Structure 1
Amino acid sequence: MAIAITTELLDGCVLSLLTHEDYYGYAITQRVQEFTPVSESTLYPVLRRLKKENWVTTYDQPYQGRNRRYYKITDDGKKRLTTIRSDWLDYKTTIDQVLGGVNDEK
């Protein structure tokens, strides 16, 4: 059974990918699907929201007679990713303590 991924973590996954290189939408979906089950119909609204928040920008490049829309992380997106990573570490530490029994009496 897979654990549901939250919106913030999905944002973090996409923004993190974009710190390495620019990707077009379908390629982002393929990369994210390597780590978590997410559909294209879920991811494209995420991309639109990230753009609306100015965490990514887009540009088009021709490819085999068509245009591909590429996504590029912005400085604001990098700041947002830093916040998401910090929130994740706090959350992960808490869950590790609960599930790992760190606070259990011996």
Structure 2
Amino acid sequence: MNAQLKKGLLEFCVLATLRTEDSYGYQIIKDTSNVIGISDSTLYPILKRLEKQQQIESYSVEHNGRLRKYFHLTPVGQEAIAQFLAEWPEVMQVYDYIKGVI
């Protein structure tokens, strides 16, 4: 997949992963791996950016004697997903144009 296109979709994949339950970095990577490949070095800047934009919140939980940072989807993040899905028909129109359907 084109790097620029992938970059634009990664944030929404992370948000979608958190839609059903809170999760932590490694689990997010595992959950998204069958759809889109993401590495630690790519994921953590995305998580920071989403947190700064108040689309996710983080909290820590002790696991095996260590703190594990979990992420939670906020209402702002839920709205971002809804907005993305609402704009998807426009994306498909561009796809159809490129494909030669239109």
Give the TM-score normalised by the residue count of structure 2: 0.87
Shift of 1:11: 1.1
Q: Which runs of 4+ in 1 moved over 2 A?
A: 86-89
Structure number with bigger Rg:
1
User: Could you tell me which amino acid in structure 1 is paired with residue 7 of structure 2?
Assistant: T
Gaps of 5+ in 1: none
Q: Which residue of 1 aligns with 2:21?
A: 21
Q: Which residue of 2 aligns with 1:37?
A: 37
Shift of 1:30: 1.6
Aligned residues: 100
| 2:25 counterpart of 1:53 | no
Are the counterparts in 2 of residues 14 and 28 from structure 1 also a CA contact under 8 Å? yes
Q: Which residue of 2 aligns with 1:10?
A: 10
Shift of 1:92: 2.2
Shift of 1:97: 4.1
Question: 86-95 vs 28-37, which deviates more?
Answer: 86-95
Gaps of 5+ in 2: none
What secondary structure sits across from 1:70 in the alignment? strand
Q: Hey, what's the Cα distance between the residues in 1 that align with 2:93 and 2:7?
A: 17
Give the TM-score normalised by the residue count of structure 1: 0.84
Shift of 1:29: 1.5
Given the superposition, is the C-alpha separation of residues 46 and 60 from structure 1 closer, same or farther in structure 2, using an over 3 Å criterion?
same
Q: Which residue of 2 aligns with 1:98?
A: 98
